[in-house]
Amino acid sequence: MIKKFKEVIPATPAEVVGLFLLLACFLLVFLVSHYSTDLNYPFPHWDKVLHTTAGISLALIFYPHIKGRQLVFLVFLLGLAFECVEICISPPAMYGGLHPYLIDTIGDLIVDALGAWIVVLGYQRYGK
């Protein structure tokens, strides 16, 4: 027998902003990848800004449920899962080989975690 939820918990404003930012990130990725070829992004650090924004938005989404180091670790794991999918979509040869691809991947994971730390530190200092 399936139980029905007795009450619906409304989303916090931070969760709504996080979901909006994440959706905007995905839309921008598809738009930029459609118009750019061979990793010619609009500006050199496009990928890092995108991953930082994704880390911030994921942390905003999950902060009401998970806090502190666990949140940063969760965002890191989600970034790692995204990088595993990305290696299937864009092969390392596109980056000039495996070594440049690994350097890019490590940088992406670092800025994902930094984005989550920004949210954690912001909530610790200014939040509830």
Q: Give me the residues of the chain with pLDDT under 70, please.
A: 1-6, 8, 33-44, 128
So what's the pLDDT on residue 50? Answer: 86
Quick: pLDDT tens for 66-100: 888 999 999 999 999 988 888 887 777 777 788 88
| Percent of the chain predicted with pLDDT > 70 | 84
Contact 54, 115 (CB under 8 A): yes
Residue ranges covered by each domain of the chain = 45-126
So what's the pLDDT on residue 24? Answer: 87
- What does pLDDT average to over the chain? 83
What is the reported pTM? 0.79
Half-sphere exposure of 45 (CA within 13 A, CB side): 6
